[in-house]
Amino acid sequence: MLEFNYRNVTTMILGQEHGLDIEEEFNKYQYKIGEIIKDLNARKDKPGQWLRWMNLGYSEETIWYIKEYAAKVRGEFENLLVLGIGGSALGAQAVAEALLKPYWNFLSDDERDNYPRIFFIDNIDPDTINGLLHVLDLKKTLVNVITKSGSTAETMSAYMIIKDKLEAELGEDYRNNIVATTDREVGVLRQLSDQEGYKTFVIPDDVGGRFSVFSAVGLLPFALLGIDIDEIVRGIKDIDLDLKNTDIKRNIAAQNALIHYLMDTEKGKNLSVMMPYSSRLKYVSDWYVQLWAESLGKEVDKQGHTVHVGPTPIKALGATDQHSQIQLYNEGPNDKLINFIRVKEFDSTLTIPKTFEYTGIGYLCEKTINDLMNAEADATRIALTDYKRPNVTITLPRINGYYLGQLLYMLEVQTAIAGELYNVDTFNQPGVEQAKNYTYALMGRRGYEESAKELKEKIIQVQS
């Protein structure tokens, strides 16, 4: 199981000004947290509550269909190209980076066991899309287009570009190279998939983008890449019981949600840094940043009062960012709560050779890089604590599907509980929708003419 250590947020370690009297706070919030957990679990099957992500570990039928399709296309494609953005891409990126062998795309077919290379288009930069199209043989590529709404401009424009090229190369057969993951009924991608006859997978009702990693949004690419999705699901199920526990002392998601909430509202730490000490977990931070930011950054509370709340998430990577951000974290404003992620055992060991034993770097010789990584993580944690900077540590025994599933699921539950503490709607994103609507207007989408006129005037004013 994951381990969670919050010692370095306590008054015992940080003192009264920056620390929390954690036992007292746990006791004080026990009732509220218990009610929140009961309420989330009571609402999770109800339509319109956007909590069905809590059931994704138990969707045996979907998992069966995903595995069946993955087995059917096994060995047919050299590449998998995922088109998606935000919640429709970040989870798959995080898991693929963590669980595939490093430098996967550079491995031979044998080394990849004939599973495809993986590419993502999650932006609309013409240079990188053109660059990718230059290196990718589309005929040998399976394209998984993922969008819940079925109309996101970035994803759908990439889809149209790729579809056009595929059709030019393959004619009618191009359809075999596309698999769509979208809503069951609504949206342009659903309509087109039915019309064109694509194989499709469904993003279940009441599962929002940033909580969709364990739906077909993530599980399909994982299965296509040979990642063991049963292991991921097993991890989720095993931690799920603990995360349903209404006793805060036994529920690590509730503990970290409360710590973040109190640190923000009572101690002025409204920045939440996610800092794994593992390059393989680098994109977990990107995924977390979206989850935390879109879920908790809100203008109004549940009663409609203007509140403008939300701790700002920041991504960092140990040890790399010790050489870019830690100076600020140690000596700058004391406004951050740092979430370290540690890995107990790396898959491999690398020993530093004796080469320059007689020089100033001799102390490194015959030690392992693993020891160095752990020493740096310990050193940074201790230094931050000396500077009275609050930090928590989540430890994975090792990086595999079982523990990664647990980590991501725990962070999802933590976010949902934090949303209740902040008293906001965790599952909407009106701020994102606004920018999406402005884009539609500026790009001439039907129905957005009035808004387009206003926006164009604003642009002229800014430019003049």
Give the residue with the Cβ less far from ligand PA5, 81 or 248. 81
Tell me the C-alpha distance between 85 and 150, whole Å: 12
Determine which residue in the list 20, 63, 70, 85 makes contact with ligand PA5, applying CB under 6 A.
85
How many helices (H) and strands (E) the chain has is answered by 16, 12
Overall residue count recorded for the chain in this entry: 464
Note whether 415 binds ligand PA5 by CB under 6 A. no
E strand or H helix that includes residue 264: helix 252-267
Give the residue with the Cβ less far from ligand PA5, 117 or 210. 210
Give the residue with the Cβ less far from ligand PA5, 252 or 293. 293
Residue nearest to ligand PA5 (CB): 209
Q: How many residues in the shown chain lie near ligand PA5 by CB under 6 A? A: 15
Note whether 152 binds ligand PA5 by CB under 6 A. yes
Note whether 144 binds ligand PA5 by CB under 6 A. no
Note whether 294 binds ligand PA5 by CB under 6 A. yes
Is 294 a residue of the active site?
yes
The DSSP annotation for 333-368 comes to -S-EEEEEEEEEE-S---BPPSTTTTSTTGGGTT-B
| Segment interacting with ligand PA5 (CB under 6 A) among 99-107, 143-151, 223-231, 376-384 | 143-151
Note whether 148 binds ligand PA5 by CB under 6 A. yes
Please name which of 382, 276, 267 lies closest in space to residue 335, comparing C-alpha atoms. 267
For the CB of residue 195, give the shortest distance to ligand PA5 in the complex, in Å.
19
Radius of gyration of the chain (CA): 23
| Segment interacting with ligand PA5 (CB under 6 A) among 79-87, 194-202, 357-365, 385-393 | 79-87
Of the candidates 154, 294, 412, 420, the residue annotated as catalytic is: 294
Burial class (CB in 10 A: 0-12, 13-18, 19+), 241: exposed
For the CB of residue 120, give the shortest distance to ligand PA5 in the complex, in Å.
13
Q: Which amino acid is at 4?
A: F
Determine which residue in the list 18, 117, 210, 267 makes contact with ligand PA5, applying CB under 6 A.
210
Please name which of 192, 191, 294, 220 lies closest in space to residue 66, comparing C-alpha atoms. 220
Note whether 149 binds ligand PA5 by CB under 6 A. yes
Burial class (CB in 10 A: 0-12, 13-18, 19+), 334: middle
| Segment interacting with ligand PA5 (CB under 6 A) among 80-88, 171-179, 260-268, 382-390 | 80-88
Is 454 a residue of the active site?
no
| Segment interacting with ligand PA5 (CB under 6 A) among 129-137, 208-216, 231-239, 384-392 | 208-216
Note whether 193 binds ligand PA5 by CB under 6 A. no
Tell me the C-alpha distance between 147 and 306, whole Å: 31
Contacts of 256 (CB under 8 A, 6+ apart): 4, 6, 339, 392, 394, 414
The DSSP annotation for 413-463 comes to HHHHHHHHHHTS-TT--HHHHHHHHHHHHHTT-TT-HHHHHHHHHHHHHHH
Binding site for ligand PA5 (CB under 6 A): 85-88, 147-149, 152, 155, 208-210, 294, 429, 432
Residues forming the active site? 294, 323, 436
